[in-house]
Structure 1
Amino acid sequence: MTSTTATPLRCGLLGTGPWARRTHGPALAEHAGTELVGVWGRRPEAAAELAGELGTRAYEDPAALFADVDAVALALPPDVQAPLAVRAAEAGCHLLLDKPVATAPAAAREVAEAVERAGVAAVVFFTLHFGAGTAQWLRDRAAEDGWQVGRADWLSPVFGGGHSPYAASPWRREKGALWDIGPHALSVLLPLLGEVAEVTAARGGAGDTVHLVLRHVSGASSTSTLSHSVDPAAAGVTAEVRGASGVAQLPERQEEPAVAFGRAVDALLEAVRTGRAHPCDARFAQTVTELLHRADAQLPPLR
């Protein structure tokens, strides 16, 4: 299936949870370059409800949706997402994936290989790479050499009393902050400090709090603190790199995720038009899954 810049990219949405309702669905429905053809979900009643809100139709079978669209956006738990992404790619659909693309390295590799076999485009929604200020900061820093030390901390109150719509998510309860927000931290550190040679991980602090130390092949090092268990007053996202160019701090995010997701849609449209892979493609997502899996193997199970 193909699309040109003259006609909207026909898109399907897989998923009906808060992320699909608040971010993916509205962005796809409102984007000038896309036509939201339909919604599929594991709960048909939820798919029907969301489709009604978005002015589109619900599908009972994902294969039928794949047959009717040029691309699919996935807002599903990672290990539900991965096999459906493979099926969608094999059906010729371009992919807008969520992070992490999977929690098993083999599943993430299968997604990347399916994308390459099918010759479809894939963009993974690492949010900071599509925010107006943060995306430019990442591009500017990547153009500078000599970064020696990095830090990326992502502290949220999802399980800390913040009344988050994501607190009831079973996969987040099972996997914790490492898998949910660890990808964001790695998406900052890897493009600036390079390939990782060694990963050290430890639990410490409230709830699901995890500390990571990375030794990069370049000789640089980085640290991350990840938690969904902090008090709302302690929440925040911070990142910085230090080196020959001085100290550079990640700017604060100033917009809603749906706005950033709209730019991810732009990136997919560009990848479809040009055939050039986006930096946040399925292979990058595979690398992130592999690093998080190495970290997870060092940690005791969450209780």
Structure 2
Amino acid sequence: MKRLRIGLVGTGSWASSTHAPALAAHPDVEFSGVWGRRSDAASALATAHTTVSYADVDELFAASDAVAFAVPPDVQAPLAARAAAAGCHLLLDKPVATTVAAARDLATAAEAARVASVVFFTLRFAGPTSAWVTEQAATPDWFAGRADWYSSFYAPDGTSPFSSPWRAQRGGLWDVGPHALSILMPVLGDVTAVTAAPGRADLVHLILRHSTGASSTATLSLTTPPKASGVTVELRGEAGTALMPSGGGALDAFRSAIDALLVSARSGQPHPCDVRFGLRVTEILAEAEKQLPAT
């Protein structure tokens, strides 16, 4: 079977530690090149993985069957729409955008071009957690859930490799909120109502109603003290209580996301974590953001 040519947009820590190594090593992928807003970083990343860098992003699209994105969400959305218009399948990062209008434009572009799309929610593709979600989604009568995402990886002083202006501006709601929704919604159903309340620093509390009649809570933060950090997802229902296991590594999860895109591109069947799901996540988070005090 012909290998799919997949290019990479982005040159930051996430791109260099996860996206590029996975694309370069995948047996069914031809790593077709790199484009970044810093040409020197794009050149260095391309050289490290024996591919080429492009000065023009549209040239990368022309040389690719699909494109993976590792850039801030509001940079990603318009570039991904251009990639779709060029006929490229999309391997997107979460959130797909931080405005509903941008996410909707991207979803519309992907549908118009009839390209496949997968949004990389890490724990939806990590082996142990992906299997757990599938198992719980097949279990009836959950009535409540909670997702606590207390992260301390974001360093306001810039010492973390994942520090970035968009994370500083948007906080835990937009960075780890998509993870929580990607786990809760496949099990409990679409969110029909959301209530949001602020905590200290970027901490946000959500109360969610779901289409199944279940309810859940989500607590989201990037600025938790390191000794208090951790992720917990718990479900309660007729079957008892279920706790999500620890996830696998990001690199293995991204390989699984590549596999999912390949299947969707070749079969024409949409993946559950496609751009439409990414749009729905953006709609829910945008509604929550409206209820929080302006910063």
**TM-score by shorter chain over 0.5:** yes
What amino acid is the match of 1:225? T
Per-residue deviation, residues 15-38 of structure 1 (Å, max 9, x unmatched): 011110111111001111101111
Per-residue deviation, residues 253-300 of structure 1 (Å, max 9, x unmatched): 2x3201100000000011112111110001100000000000011112
Per-residue deviation, residues 169-226 of structure 1 (Å, max 9, x unmatched): 0100010110001000000111111122211111113x21111111123221100111
Which of 187, 190, 199 is equivalent to 1:195? 190
Q: Following the alignment from structure 1 to structure 2, what is the Cα–Cα distance between the partners of residues 161 and 171?
A: 12
**Once structures 1 and 2 are overlaid, which stretch shifts more, 214-223 or 184-193?**
214-223
Q: Aligned residues: percent identity?
A: 56
Q: Which residue of 1 aligns with 2:271?
A: 278
* Residue pair 1:99, 1:183 contacting (<8 A) in 2 also: yes
Secondary structure of residue in 1 paired with 2:145:
strand
Q: Which residue of 1 aligns with 2:36?
A: 41
Per-residue deviation, residues 226-264 of structure 1 (Å, max 9, x unmatched): 1111111111111011112211111012x3201100000
1:289 aligns with 2:282: yes
1:228 aligns with 2:222: yes
CA shift in 2, pair 1:159/1:261, >3 Å: closer
Secondary structure of residue in 2 paired with 1:35:
strand
1:164 aligns with 2:160: yes
Q: Following the alignment from structure 1 to structure 2, what is the Cα–Cα distance between the partners of residues 166 and 90?
A: 30
Q: Following the alignment from structure 1 to structure 2, what is the Cα–Cα distance between the partners of residues 301 and 261?
A: 35
In structure 2, runs of 5+ residues without a counterpart are none
Q: Which residue of 2 aligns with 1:3?
A: none
Secondary structure of residue in 1 paired with 2:271:
coil
What amino acid is the match of 1:151? R
Q: Which residue of 2 aligns with 1:268?
A: 261
* Residue pair 1:160, 1:231 contacting (<8 A) in 2 also: no
- Poorly superposed stretches of 4+, deviation over 3 Å: 159-163
What amino acid is the match of 2:208? L
* Residue pair 1:201, 1:298 contacting (<8 A) in 2 also: yes
With normalisation by structure 2, the TM-score equals 0.97
Secondary structure of residue in 2 paired with 1:45:
helix
Instruction: Report the alpha carbon displacement of residue 100 of structure 1 after superposing the two structures with TM.
Output: 0.1
1:53 aligns with 2:48: yes
* Residue pair 2:8, 2:35 contacting (<8 A) in 1 also: yes
Which of 5, 11, 14 is equivalent to 1:19? 14
What amino acid is the match of 2:232? T
In structure 1, runs of 5+ residues without a counterpart are 1-5
Q: Which residue of 2 aligns with 1:182?
A: 177
Per-residue deviation, residues 24-70 of structure 1 (Å, max 9, x unmatched): 11100111110111100011111111111111111011111111110
Which of 52, 57, 65 is equivalent to 1:62? 57
Number of residue pairs the alignment of both structures matches = 294
What amino acid is the match of 1:19? W
With normalisation by structure 1, the TM-score equals 0.94
Secondary structure of residue in 1 paired with 2:101:
helix
Per-residue deviation, residues 114-135 of structure 1 (Å, max 9, x unmatched): 1111111100001111101000
What amino acid is the match of 1:219? G
* Residue pair 2:6, 2:68 contacting (<8 A) in 1 also: yes
Q: Following the alignment from structure 2 to structure 1, what is the Cα–Cα distance between the partners of residues 17 and 154?
A: 20
* Residue pair 2:7, 2:67 contacting (<8 A) in 1 also: yes
Secondary structure of residue in 1 paired with 2:53:
strand
CA shift in 2, pair 1:99/1:149, >3 Å: same
Q: Following the alignment from structure 1 to structure 2, what is the Cα–Cα distance between the partners of residues 234 and 35?
A: 42
Q: Aligned Cα RMSD in Å? A: 1.3
Q: Following the alignment from structure 1 to structure 2, what is the Cα–Cα distance between the partners of residues 49 and 143?
A: 46
Once the two structures are superposed, the pairs formed by residues 47-126 of structure 1 within 5 Å of their partners are: 47-126=42-121
